[in-house]
Structure 1
Amino acid sequence: MKKILSLIACFVLLQSCSDDSESNDSLTGSITATIDGQNWRSNIAIGAIQSANFSGINGSILQILGTTSNSSTLAINIPLQNLAPGTYTFNGYDATGSLSYTSMTDLYSSDETDGTFTFTISSYNSDNGTISGTFSGTLIGFDSPTPMSVTNGTFNNISIVSQQLYSNGNMSLKLNSGTVFNMDADSSDNLFLIIQQVDEANKIVVYGNNTNPGADYGIYSIMIPKNATVGSHAIDGNNYDAGFNNNSNITYTTTGGTINITSHNGNTIVGTFNFTANGNSQTMTISQGNFSITYN
Protein backbone atom coordinates (compact mmCIF):
# COMPACT_ATOMS: atom_id res chain seq x y z
CA MET A 1 0.00 0.00 0.00
CA LYS A 2 2.83 2.41 0.81
CA LYS A 3 4.31 1.79 -2.63
CA ILE A 4 0.97 2.62 -4.27
CA LEU A 5 0.84 5.90 -2.35
CA SER A 6 4.38 6.70 -3.49
CA LEU A 7 3.47 5.92 -7.08
CA ILE A 8 0.43 8.18 -7.15
CA ALA A 9 2.41 10.88 -5.32
CA CYS A 10 0.71 14.27 -5.76
CA PHE A 11 -0.38 13.88 -9.39
CA VAL A 12 -3.24 16.33 -9.10
CA LEU A 13 -1.09 18.96 -7.38
CA LEU A 14 1.75 18.82 -9.89
CA GLN A 15 -0.68 18.51 -12.81
CA SER A 16 -2.69 21.56 -11.78
CA CYS A 17 0.46 23.59 -11.09
CA SER A 18 1.84 22.71 -14.53
CA ASP A 19 -1.40 23.73 -16.25
CA ASP A 20 -2.23 26.83 -14.22
CA SER A 21 0.14 29.73 -14.92
CA GLU A 22 -1.21 31.79 -12.04
CA SER A 23 -0.60 28.94 -9.56
CA ASN A 24 2.85 28.35 -11.00
CA ASP A 25 3.77 32.01 -10.58
CA SER A 26 2.88 31.82 -6.89
CA LEU A 27 5.11 28.76 -6.28
CA THR A 28 8.43 30.35 -5.41
CA GLY A 29 9.83 27.35 -3.54
CA SER A 30 12.42 24.89 -4.79
CA ILE A 31 13.98 21.52 -3.96
CA THR A 32 17.61 20.65 -4.71
CA ALA A 33 19.70 17.55 -4.00
CA THR A 34 22.63 15.46 -5.16
CA ILE A 35 21.23 12.11 -6.36
CA ASP A 36 23.80 9.40 -7.05
CA GLY A 37 26.40 12.13 -7.53
CA GLN A 38 24.27 14.15 -9.97
CA ASN A 39 22.80 17.58 -9.23
CA TRP A 40 18.99 17.63 -9.18
CA ARG A 41 16.74 20.70 -9.02
CA SER A 42 12.96 20.92 -9.22
CA ASN A 43 11.18 23.13 -11.71
CA ILE A 44 7.92 22.80 -9.71
CA ALA A 45 7.78 22.21 -5.95
CA ILE A 46 4.81 22.15 -3.58
CA GLY A 47 3.77 20.75 -0.24
CA ALA A 48 0.49 19.27 0.97
CA ILE A 49 -1.05 18.44 4.30
CA GLN A 50 -2.54 15.10 3.30
CA SER A 51 -5.38 13.53 5.27
CA ALA A 52 -5.89 9.82 4.55
CA ASN A 53 -8.83 7.66 5.54
CA PHE A 54 -9.10 4.36 3.67
CA SER A 55 -8.18 0.67 3.88
CA GLY A 56 -7.03 0.83 7.50
CA ILE A 57 -4.97 4.00 6.96
CA ASN A 58 -6.19 6.91 9.06
CA GLY A 59 -4.03 9.94 9.76
CA SER A 60 -2.34 13.00 8.33
CA ILE A 61 1.09 13.55 6.80
CA LEU A 62 3.06 16.37 5.23
CA GLN A 63 4.11 15.54 1.67
CA ILE A 64 6.66 17.75 -0.11
CA LEU A 65 7.05 17.12 -3.84
CA GLY A 66 9.32 18.38 -6.55
CA THR A 67 9.39 17.44 -10.23
CA THR A 68 11.67 18.23 -13.17
CA SER A 69 11.09 18.67 -16.88
CA ASN A 70 12.18 15.04 -17.49
CA SER A 71 9.40 13.87 -15.11
CA SER A 72 11.67 12.68 -12.30
CA THR A 73 10.16 13.35 -8.88
CA LEU A 74 11.38 13.65 -5.30
CA ALA A 75 8.79 13.07 -2.56
CA ILE A 76 9.15 13.62 1.18
CA ASN A 77 6.55 12.23 3.61
CA ILE A 78 6.56 12.88 7.35
CA PRO A 79 3.85 12.49 10.01
CA LEU A 80 1.97 15.69 10.73
CA GLN A 81 2.95 15.63 14.41
CA ASN A 82 6.57 16.24 13.30
CA LEU A 83 5.65 19.54 11.64
CA ALA A 84 7.90 21.72 13.81
CA PRO A 85 11.56 22.88 13.60
CA GLY A 86 13.89 20.00 14.41
CA THR A 87 15.67 16.95 12.95
CA TYR A 88 13.88 13.63 12.42
CA THR A 89 15.34 10.26 11.34
CA PHE A 90 13.38 7.38 9.80
CA ASN A 91 14.84 3.94 9.03
CA GLY A 92 13.58 0.91 7.16
CA TYR A 93 10.29 -0.53 6.00
CA ASP A 94 8.14 0.28 9.04
CA ALA A 95 9.23 3.93 9.24
CA THR A 96 6.44 6.51 9.53
CA GLY A 97 8.37 8.95 7.33
CA SER A 98 9.95 8.37 3.93
CA LEU A 99 11.95 9.86 1.08
CA SER A 100 11.38 8.58 -2.46
CA TYR A 101 12.70 9.28 -5.94
CA THR A 102 10.84 8.31 -9.10
CA SER A 103 12.77 8.19 -12.38
CA MET A 104 11.67 7.13 -15.86
CA THR A 105 12.76 3.57 -15.03
CA ASP A 106 12.22 2.86 -11.33
CA LEU A 107 10.97 3.99 -7.92
CA TYR A 108 13.49 4.29 -5.09
CA SER A 109 12.41 4.69 -1.47
CA SER A 110 13.82 4.87 2.04
CA ASP A 111 10.96 2.74 3.41
CA GLU A 112 12.71 -0.49 2.45
CA THR A 113 15.09 -2.67 4.45
CA ASP A 114 18.45 -0.81 4.69
CA GLY A 115 16.80 2.47 3.66
CA THR A 116 17.42 5.63 5.72
CA PHE A 117 16.00 9.15 5.74
CA THR A 118 16.98 12.23 7.77
CA PHE A 119 14.82 15.34 7.58
CA THR A 120 15.44 18.74 9.20
CA ILE A 121 12.83 21.52 9.39
CA SER A 122 14.68 24.81 9.78
CA SER A 123 11.59 27.02 9.56
CA TYR A 124 7.83 26.59 9.35
CA ASN A 125 5.61 29.65 8.89
CA SER A 126 2.04 28.63 9.67
CA ASP A 127 0.74 32.13 8.81
CA ASN A 128 1.71 32.05 5.13
CA GLY A 129 1.94 28.25 4.87
CA THR A 130 5.59 27.80 3.86
CA ILE A 131 8.33 25.44 5.05
CA SER A 132 12.13 25.18 4.57
CA GLY A 133 14.81 22.69 5.58
CA THR A 134 17.26 19.98 4.54
CA PHE A 135 17.23 16.20 3.93
CA SER A 136 19.37 13.21 2.99
CA GLY A 137 18.98 9.48 2.74
CA THR A 138 19.76 6.07 1.28
CA LEU A 139 17.03 4.79 -1.03
CA ILE A 140 16.42 1.25 -2.28
CA GLY A 141 15.05 0.44 -5.76
CA PHE A 142 11.51 -0.92 -6.04
CA ASP A 143 12.39 -3.23 -8.95
CA SER A 144 15.88 -4.04 -7.66
CA PRO A 145 17.78 -3.78 -4.34
CA THR A 146 20.17 -1.20 -5.80
CA PRO A 147 20.88 1.56 -3.23
CA MET A 148 20.73 5.21 -4.23
CA SER A 149 22.42 7.98 -2.23
CA VAL A 150 20.68 11.36 -1.74
CA THR A 151 22.81 14.10 -0.18
CA ASN A 152 22.83 17.90 0.12
CA GLY A 153 19.05 17.98 -0.05
CA THR A 154 17.35 21.34 0.54
CA PHE A 155 13.75 22.56 0.34
CA ASN A 156 13.20 26.30 0.47
CA ASN A 157 10.02 28.33 0.92
CA ILE A 158 7.72 25.45 -0.11
CA SER A 159 4.04 26.48 -0.25
CA ILE A 160 1.65 24.08 1.52
CA VAL A 161 -1.93 23.31 0.47
CA SER A 162 -4.32 20.63 1.76
CA GLN A 163 -5.57 17.42 0.18
CA GLN A 164 -7.52 14.33 1.17
CA LEU A 165 -7.27 10.63 0.34
CA TYR A 166 -10.24 8.31 0.82
CA SER A 167 -12.27 5.55 -0.89
CA ASN A 168 -15.92 6.56 -1.06
CA GLY A 169 -16.89 4.87 -4.32
CA ASN A 170 -16.08 2.29 -6.96
CA MET A 171 -14.59 2.04 -10.44
CA SER A 172 -14.75 -0.72 -13.05
CA LEU A 173 -13.03 -1.05 -16.43
CA LYS A 174 -11.51 -3.39 -19.00
CA LEU A 175 -7.91 -3.31 -20.22
CA ASN A 176 -7.39 -4.29 -23.86
CA SER A 177 -9.17 -7.62 -24.56
CA GLY A 178 -9.35 -8.68 -20.90
CA THR A 179 -12.40 -8.92 -18.68
CA VAL A 180 -14.07 -6.14 -16.69
CA PHE A 181 -12.88 -5.85 -13.07
CA ASN A 182 -14.12 -3.68 -10.21
CA MET A 183 -12.18 -1.64 -7.63
CA ASP A 184 -13.72 -0.28 -4.42
CA ALA A 185 -12.91 0.41 -0.76
CA ASP A 186 -12.15 -3.26 -0.01
CA SER A 187 -8.45 -3.94 -0.65
CA SER A 188 -8.48 -7.61 0.47
CA ASP A 189 -8.71 -8.75 -3.17
CA ASN A 190 -5.87 -6.40 -4.24
CA LEU A 191 -8.41 -4.35 -6.22
CA PHE A 192 -9.05 -1.04 -4.52
CA LEU A 193 -9.92 2.60 -5.06
CA ILE A 194 -8.15 5.75 -3.86
CA ILE A 195 -9.77 9.17 -4.30
CA GLN A 196 -7.52 12.23 -4.10
CA GLN A 197 -9.20 15.61 -3.52
CA VAL A 198 -7.49 19.03 -3.65
CA ASP A 199 -9.99 21.80 -3.07
CA GLU A 200 -7.52 24.62 -3.84
CA ALA A 201 -7.09 23.21 -7.35
CA ASN A 202 -10.77 22.22 -7.74
CA LYS A 203 -9.56 18.72 -8.69
CA ILE A 204 -10.55 15.16 -7.86
CA VAL A 205 -8.48 12.20 -9.06
CA VAL A 206 -9.90 8.68 -8.90
CA TYR A 207 -7.24 5.95 -8.84
CA GLY A 208 -8.26 2.37 -9.58
CA ASN A 209 -5.53 0.02 -8.38
CA ASN A 210 -5.12 -3.58 -9.56
CA THR A 211 -2.13 -5.06 -7.73
CA ASN A 212 -2.80 -8.67 -8.70
CA PRO A 213 0.04 -10.10 -10.83
CA GLY A 214 -1.04 -10.46 -14.44
CA ALA A 215 -1.94 -8.56 -17.57
CA ASP A 216 -4.34 -6.17 -15.78
CA TYR A 217 -1.81 -5.04 -13.15
CA GLY A 218 -1.62 -1.26 -12.91
CA ILE A 219 -2.94 2.06 -11.68
CA TYR A 220 -5.79 3.55 -13.73
CA SER A 221 -6.66 7.18 -13.07
CA ILE A 222 -9.18 9.78 -14.15
CA MET A 223 -9.14 13.43 -13.13
CA ILE A 224 -12.23 15.65 -13.05
CA PRO A 225 -13.11 19.07 -11.62
CA LYS A 226 -14.86 19.03 -8.27
CA ASN A 227 -17.65 21.01 -9.98
CA ALA A 228 -17.83 18.61 -12.96
CA THR A 229 -20.87 19.19 -15.16
CA VAL A 230 -23.15 16.58 -16.72
CA GLY A 231 -22.14 15.76 -20.29
CA SER A 232 -19.34 14.26 -22.37
CA HIS A 233 -15.90 15.83 -21.90
CA ALA A 234 -12.86 15.20 -24.07
CA ILE A 235 -9.73 14.22 -22.13
CA ASP A 236 -7.67 17.37 -22.61
CA GLY A 237 -4.94 16.99 -19.99
CA ASN A 238 -6.29 20.00 -18.13
CA ASN A 239 -9.81 19.95 -16.68
CA TYR A 240 -10.36 16.30 -17.59
CA ASP A 241 -7.50 13.82 -17.73
CA ALA A 242 -6.71 10.12 -17.46
CA GLY A 243 -3.64 7.95 -17.09
CA PHE A 244 -2.19 4.44 -16.87
CA ASN A 245 0.92 3.21 -15.03
CA ASN A 246 2.01 -0.41 -14.54
CA ASN A 247 5.39 0.33 -12.91
CA SER A 248 7.26 -0.99 -15.95
CA ASN A 249 10.13 0.76 -17.70
CA ILE A 250 7.58 2.16 -20.14
CA THR A 251 6.07 5.61 -19.72
CA TYR A 252 2.53 5.70 -21.09
CA THR A 253 1.07 8.90 -22.52
CA THR A 254 -2.70 9.30 -22.80
CA THR A 255 -3.55 9.93 -26.45
CA GLY A 256 -7.31 10.38 -26.43
CA GLY A 257 -10.58 9.51 -24.80
CA THR A 258 -13.65 10.89 -23.07
CA ILE A 259 -15.09 11.18 -19.58
CA ASN A 260 -18.88 11.31 -19.56
CA ILE A 261 -20.53 12.68 -16.39
CA THR A 262 -23.98 11.09 -16.27
CA SER A 263 -25.06 12.66 -12.97
CA HIS A 264 -23.76 15.06 -10.31
CA ASN A 265 -26.17 15.18 -7.42
CA GLY A 266 -24.96 16.75 -4.17
CA ASN A 267 -21.51 15.28 -3.49
CA THR A 268 -22.01 12.19 -5.67
CA ILE A 269 -20.60 12.04 -9.21
CA VAL A 270 -21.39 9.14 -11.57
CA GLY A 271 -19.93 8.66 -15.01
CA THR A 272 -18.27 6.55 -17.69
CA PHE A 273 -14.90 6.81 -19.42
CA ASN A 274 -12.61 5.35 -22.04
CA PHE A 275 -9.11 6.25 -23.18
CA THR A 276 -5.94 4.97 -24.82
CA ALA A 277 -2.37 5.24 -23.55
CA ASN A 278 0.68 4.73 -25.74
CA GLY A 279 4.25 3.87 -24.75
CA ASN A 280 7.20 2.27 -26.51
CA SER A 281 5.06 1.23 -29.50
CA GLN A 282 2.49 -0.34 -27.17
CA THR A 283 -1.12 0.81 -26.95
CA MET A 284 -3.21 0.24 -23.84
CA THR A 285 -6.95 0.53 -24.44
CA ILE A 286 -9.09 1.21 -21.39
CA SER A 287 -12.80 0.67 -22.15
CA GLN A 288 -16.15 0.07 -20.43
CA GLY A 289 -15.03 2.39 -17.65
CA ASN A 290 -17.63 3.24 -15.00
CA PHE A 291 -17.28 5.13 -11.73
CA SER A 292 -19.41 6.39 -8.88
CA ILE A 293 -17.82 8.46 -6.11
CA THR A 294 -18.96 10.58 -3.20
CA TYR A 295 -16.51 13.38 -2.43
CA ASN A 296 -16.00 15.27 0.84
Structure 2
Amino acid sequence: MIVMAIAGALVVAGILGVVAEIAGFEVLPRRPRARAVARRSWWQRLSGRTRRLIAAAVVVGALVWVVTGWVLAVVLVPAAVVVVPWLMTSPEGGRDIERLEALEEWTRALSGILTAGQGVEQALIASVRSTPEAIRPEVTRLAARLRARWTTQAALRALADELDDATGDLIAANLMLAARRRSAGVARVLESLAESVAADVRARREIEADRAKPRSTARWVTIGTVGLLIYLTFSGDFVEPYGTPLGQVLLALYLCVYVAALVWMKRMARGRPLPRFIGSLVKAGAR
Protein backbone atom coordinates (compact mmCIF):
# COMPACT_ATOMS: atom_id res chain seq x y z
CA MET A 1 0.00 0.00 0.00
CA ILE A 2 2.87 2.39 0.79
CA VAL A 3 4.45 1.69 -2.61
CA MET A 4 1.15 2.43 -4.35
CA ALA A 5 0.75 5.63 -2.32
CA ILE A 6 4.25 6.77 -3.29
CA ALA A 7 3.47 5.97 -6.92
CA GLY A 8 0.27 8.01 -6.68
CA ALA A 9 2.15 10.91 -5.11
CA LEU A 10 4.68 10.81 -7.96
CA VAL A 11 1.86 10.81 -10.49
CA VAL A 12 0.36 13.86 -8.76
CA ALA A 13 3.73 15.60 -8.73
CA GLY A 14 4.24 14.89 -12.43
CA ILE A 15 0.81 16.17 -13.43
CA LEU A 16 1.19 19.25 -11.22
CA GLY A 17 4.49 19.89 -13.01
CA VAL A 18 2.69 19.77 -16.35
CA VAL A 19 0.00 22.11 -15.02
CA ALA A 20 2.68 24.48 -13.73
CA GLU A 21 4.32 24.51 -17.15
CA ILE A 22 0.98 25.25 -18.83
CA ALA A 23 0.27 28.04 -16.34
CA GLY A 24 3.70 29.56 -16.89
CA PHE A 25 5.09 29.02 -13.39
CA GLU A 26 8.87 29.34 -13.00
CA VAL A 27 10.16 27.07 -10.27
CA LEU A 28 13.71 28.36 -10.73
CA PRO A 29 14.66 31.77 -12.12
CA ARG A 30 15.92 31.59 -15.67
CA ARG A 31 18.61 34.19 -15.12
CA PRO A 32 19.60 34.32 -11.46
CA ARG A 33 21.15 37.61 -10.52
CA ALA A 34 23.57 36.13 -8.06
CA ARG A 35 24.90 32.76 -7.04
CA ALA A 36 23.30 33.08 -3.63
CA VAL A 37 19.87 33.34 -5.26
CA ALA A 38 20.56 30.36 -7.50
CA ARG A 39 21.58 28.20 -4.54
CA ARG A 40 18.41 28.90 -2.58
CA SER A 41 15.89 26.11 -2.67
CA TRP A 42 12.24 26.63 -3.60
CA TRP A 43 11.34 26.33 0.09
CA GLN A 44 13.70 29.18 1.03
CA ARG A 45 12.24 31.42 -1.66
CA LEU A 46 8.75 31.10 -0.16
CA SER A 47 7.50 33.69 2.30
CA GLY A 48 7.31 32.83 6.00
CA ARG A 49 3.50 32.88 5.93
CA THR A 50 3.38 30.46 2.98
CA ARG A 51 5.81 28.10 4.70
CA ARG A 52 3.72 28.06 7.86
CA LEU A 53 0.56 27.36 5.84
CA ILE A 54 2.21 24.46 4.00
CA ALA A 55 3.56 23.00 7.26
CA ALA A 56 0.10 23.22 8.85
CA ALA A 57 -1.42 21.63 5.74
CA VAL A 58 1.01 18.71 5.98
CA VAL A 59 -0.07 18.16 9.59
CA VAL A 60 -3.75 18.31 8.58
CA GLY A 61 -3.06 15.90 5.72
CA ALA A 62 -1.40 13.48 8.12
CA LEU A 63 -4.44 13.64 10.42
CA VAL A 64 -6.74 12.96 7.46
CA TRP A 65 -4.53 10.00 6.59
CA VAL A 66 -4.90 8.62 10.11
CA VAL A 67 -8.67 9.12 10.18
CA THR A 68 -9.57 8.01 6.65
CA GLY A 69 -6.64 5.85 5.62
CA TRP A 70 -6.03 8.02 2.53
CA VAL A 71 -2.24 8.29 2.23
CA LEU A 72 -2.73 10.69 -0.67
CA ALA A 73 -4.08 13.32 1.74
CA VAL A 74 -0.51 14.06 2.86
CA VAL A 75 0.14 15.36 -0.65
CA LEU A 76 -3.28 16.67 -1.65
CA VAL A 77 -3.91 18.95 1.33
CA PRO A 78 -0.66 20.96 0.97
CA ALA A 79 -1.15 21.07 -2.80
CA ALA A 80 -4.67 22.42 -2.30
CA VAL A 81 -3.37 25.09 0.10
CA VAL A 82 -0.97 26.34 -2.59
CA VAL A 83 -3.00 25.86 -5.78
CA VAL A 84 -6.59 26.69 -4.78
CA PRO A 85 -5.93 30.29 -3.57
CA TRP A 86 -4.03 30.98 -6.78
CA LEU A 87 -6.94 29.63 -8.83
CA MET A 88 -9.43 31.72 -6.88
CA THR A 89 -7.61 35.02 -7.28
CA SER A 90 -8.40 37.31 -10.16
CA PRO A 91 -5.79 38.54 -12.64
CA GLU A 92 -4.22 41.96 -12.21
CA GLY A 93 -6.50 43.56 -14.77
CA GLY A 94 -7.85 46.05 -12.24
CA ARG A 95 -4.35 47.28 -11.43
CA ASP A 96 -3.58 47.77 -15.12
CA ILE A 97 -6.77 49.79 -15.57
CA GLU A 98 -5.89 51.95 -12.57
CA ARG A 99 -2.48 52.69 -14.08
CA LEU A 100 -4.10 53.55 -17.41
CA GLU A 101 -6.43 56.01 -15.68
CA ALA A 102 -3.43 57.53 -13.94
CA LEU A 103 -1.64 57.89 -17.28
CA GLU A 104 -4.71 59.61 -18.74
CA GLU A 105 -4.89 62.06 -15.84
CA TRP A 106 -1.15 62.76 -16.00
CA THR A 107 -1.29 63.36 -19.76
CA ARG A 108 -4.13 65.86 -19.33
CA ALA A 109 -2.17 67.64 -16.62
CA LEU A 110 0.87 67.82 -18.90
CA SER A 111 -1.29 69.25 -21.67
CA GLY A 112 -2.50 72.00 -19.35
CA ILE A 113 1.03 72.85 -18.19
CA LEU A 114 2.31 73.00 -21.76
CA THR A 115 -0.58 75.26 -22.71
CA ALA A 116 0.68 77.72 -20.10
CA GLY A 117 3.87 78.12 -22.13
CA GLN A 118 6.41 75.96 -20.31
CA GLY A 119 8.90 73.72 -22.06
CA VAL A 120 8.61 69.94 -22.13
CA GLU A 121 11.30 69.35 -19.50
CA GLN A 122 9.92 72.00 -17.15
CA ALA A 123 6.40 70.63 -17.62
CA LEU A 124 7.53 67.09 -16.79
CA ILE A 125 9.22 68.26 -13.60
CA ALA A 126 6.25 70.42 -12.60
CA SER A 127 3.77 67.58 -13.22
CA VAL A 128 5.09 65.58 -10.25
CA ARG A 129 2.90 67.53 -7.83
CA SER A 130 -0.33 66.53 -9.62
CA THR A 131 0.65 63.00 -10.63
CA PRO A 132 -1.73 60.22 -9.44
CA GLU A 133 -0.41 57.79 -6.88
CA ALA A 134 -0.48 54.84 -9.28
CA ILE A 135 2.38 56.25 -11.36
CA ARG A 136 3.88 58.81 -8.96
CA PRO A 137 7.10 56.81 -8.28
CA GLU A 138 7.87 56.50 -12.00
CA VAL A 139 7.18 60.19 -12.74
CA THR A 140 9.19 61.24 -9.67
CA ARG A 141 12.19 59.29 -10.93
CA LEU A 142 11.70 60.86 -14.37
CA ALA A 143 11.87 64.35 -12.84
CA ALA A 144 14.94 63.36 -10.82
CA ARG A 145 16.71 62.15 -13.97
CA LEU A 146 15.93 65.43 -15.76
CA ARG A 147 17.28 67.41 -12.80
CA ALA A 148 20.40 65.23 -12.91
CA ARG A 149 21.06 66.43 -16.49
CA TRP A 150 19.91 63.30 -18.28
CA THR A 151 18.92 63.90 -21.86
CA THR A 152 15.18 64.09 -22.37
CA GLN A 153 15.24 61.12 -24.74
CA ALA A 154 17.09 58.86 -22.28
CA ALA A 155 14.89 59.91 -19.34
CA LEU A 156 11.67 59.23 -21.28
CA ARG A 157 12.96 55.85 -22.48
CA ALA A 158 13.69 54.93 -18.87
CA LEU A 159 10.14 56.01 -17.96
CA ALA A 160 8.73 53.77 -20.70
CA ASP A 161 10.74 50.82 -19.35
CA GLU A 162 9.41 51.40 -15.85
CA LEU A 163 5.79 51.74 -16.99
CA ASP A 164 6.19 48.60 -19.16
CA ASP A 165 3.00 49.24 -21.10
CA ALA A 166 2.20 49.98 -24.74
CA THR A 167 0.21 53.08 -23.76
CA GLY A 168 3.16 54.33 -21.74
CA ASP A 169 5.35 53.82 -24.82
CA LEU A 170 2.92 55.87 -26.88
CA ILE A 171 2.94 58.76 -24.39
CA ALA A 172 6.74 58.64 -24.04
CA ALA A 173 7.17 58.58 -27.84
CA ASN A 174 4.98 61.68 -28.26
CA LEU A 175 6.89 63.49 -25.53
CA MET A 176 10.22 62.57 -27.15
CA LEU A 177 9.02 63.95 -30.48
CA ALA A 178 7.79 67.09 -28.74
CA ALA A 179 11.14 67.57 -26.99
CA ARG A 180 12.98 67.11 -30.28
CA ARG A 181 10.85 69.33 -32.53
CA ARG A 182 9.75 71.98 -29.99
CA SER A 183 6.54 72.55 -31.92
CA ALA A 184 3.56 74.55 -30.65
CA GLY A 185 0.95 71.81 -31.05
CA VAL A 186 2.21 69.48 -28.32
CA ALA A 187 -0.62 70.35 -25.92
CA ARG A 188 -3.28 69.48 -28.51
CA VAL A 189 -1.53 66.17 -29.28
CA LEU A 190 -1.41 65.24 -25.61
CA GLU A 191 -5.06 66.19 -25.14
CA SER A 192 -6.15 63.94 -28.01
CA LEU A 193 -3.87 61.20 -26.66
CA ALA A 194 -5.59 61.49 -23.26
CA GLU A 195 -8.96 61.06 -24.98
CA SER A 196 -7.63 57.91 -26.68
CA VAL A 197 -6.41 56.52 -23.35
CA ALA A 198 -9.80 57.26 -21.77
CA ALA A 199 -11.53 55.27 -24.51
CA ASP A 200 -9.07 52.42 -23.92
CA VAL A 201 -9.88 52.48 -20.20
CA ARG A 202 -13.62 52.23 -20.89
CA ALA A 203 -13.10 49.32 -23.27
CA ARG A 204 -10.88 47.46 -20.79
CA ARG A 205 -13.42 47.94 -18.00
CA GLU A 206 -16.11 46.33 -20.14
CA ILE A 207 -13.78 43.43 -21.00
CA GLU A 208 -12.87 42.86 -17.34
CA ALA A 209 -16.56 42.88 -16.37
CA ASP A 210 -17.25 40.15 -18.94
CA ARG A 211 -14.25 38.12 -17.79
CA ALA A 212 -15.33 38.32 -14.16
CA LYS A 213 -18.49 36.29 -14.82
CA PRO A 214 -16.85 32.94 -15.76
CA ARG A 215 -14.24 33.45 -13.03
CA SER A 216 -16.99 33.84 -10.44
CA THR A 217 -18.76 30.74 -11.74
CA ALA A 218 -15.56 28.67 -11.60
CA ARG A 219 -14.87 29.97 -8.07
CA TRP A 220 -18.24 28.85 -6.71
CA VAL A 221 -18.07 25.50 -8.52
CA THR A 222 -14.63 24.88 -6.99
CA ILE A 223 -15.81 25.79 -3.50
CA GLY A 224 -18.79 23.48 -3.85
CA THR A 225 -16.64 20.65 -5.19
CA VAL A 226 -14.13 20.93 -2.36
CA GLY A 227 -16.92 21.04 0.23
CA LEU A 228 -18.63 18.00 -1.28
CA LEU A 229 -15.35 16.08 -1.42
CA ILE A 230 -14.66 16.84 2.25
CA TYR A 231 -18.17 15.75 3.22
CA LEU A 232 -17.99 12.50 1.26
CA THR A 233 -14.55 11.73 2.68
CA PHE A 234 -15.83 11.53 6.25
CA SER A 235 -19.30 10.13 5.63
CA GLY A 236 -20.86 7.20 3.80
CA ASP A 237 -19.48 4.37 1.74
CA PHE A 238 -19.56 6.26 -1.55
CA VAL A 239 -15.84 7.02 -1.53
CA GLU A 240 -14.76 3.74 0.05
CA PRO A 241 -13.33 2.36 -3.26
CA TYR A 242 -10.96 5.34 -3.37
CA GLY A 243 -9.32 4.13 -0.16
CA THR A 244 -7.61 1.31 -2.05
CA PRO A 245 -4.19 1.92 -3.65
CA LEU A 246 -5.65 1.88 -7.16
CA GLY A 247 -8.44 4.19 -6.02
CA GLN A 248 -5.89 6.62 -4.62
CA VAL A 249 -4.10 6.77 -7.96
CA LEU A 250 -7.38 7.28 -9.84
CA LEU A 251 -8.46 9.99 -7.41
CA ALA A 252 -5.17 11.78 -7.93
CA LEU A 253 -5.64 11.64 -11.69
CA TYR A 254 -9.22 12.95 -11.47
CA LEU A 255 -8.22 15.85 -9.23
CA CYS A 256 -5.26 16.77 -11.43
CA VAL A 257 -7.47 16.81 -14.53
CA TYR A 258 -9.94 19.05 -12.67
CA VAL A 259 -7.16 21.43 -11.61
CA ALA A 260 -5.78 21.46 -15.16
CA ALA A 261 -9.23 22.48 -16.45
CA LEU A 262 -9.37 25.34 -13.92
CA VAL A 263 -5.88 26.48 -14.92
CA TRP A 264 -6.94 26.41 -18.56
CA MET A 265 -9.99 28.55 -17.77
CA LYS A 266 -7.83 31.00 -15.83
CA ARG A 267 -5.42 31.31 -18.74
CA MET A 268 -8.30 31.89 -21.16
CA ALA A 269 -9.55 34.79 -19.00
CA ARG A 270 -6.11 36.37 -18.81
CA GLY A 271 -5.57 39.23 -21.23
CA ARG A 272 -2.42 39.56 -23.28
CA PRO A 273 -0.66 42.92 -23.11
CA LEU A 274 -0.16 44.86 -26.30
CA PRO A 275 3.39 44.66 -27.70
CA ARG A 276 5.70 47.51 -26.81
CA PHE A 277 7.70 49.41 -29.41
CA ILE A 278 10.30 51.45 -27.46
CA GLY A 279 12.54 50.82 -24.48
CA SER A 280 15.74 48.93 -23.72
CA LEU A 281 14.01 45.54 -23.59
CA VAL A 282 12.52 46.00 -27.06
CA LYS A 283 15.89 47.16 -28.37
CA ALA A 284 17.65 44.15 -26.91
CA GLY A 285 15.04 41.77 -28.37
CA ALA A 286 15.43 43.29 -31.85
CA ARG A 287 19.14 42.47 -32.01
TM-score by length of 1: 0.20
Larger helix percent: 2
* Greater radius of gyration (CA): 2
TM-score by length of 2: 0.21
Larger RCO (CA within 8 A; separation ≥ 6): 2
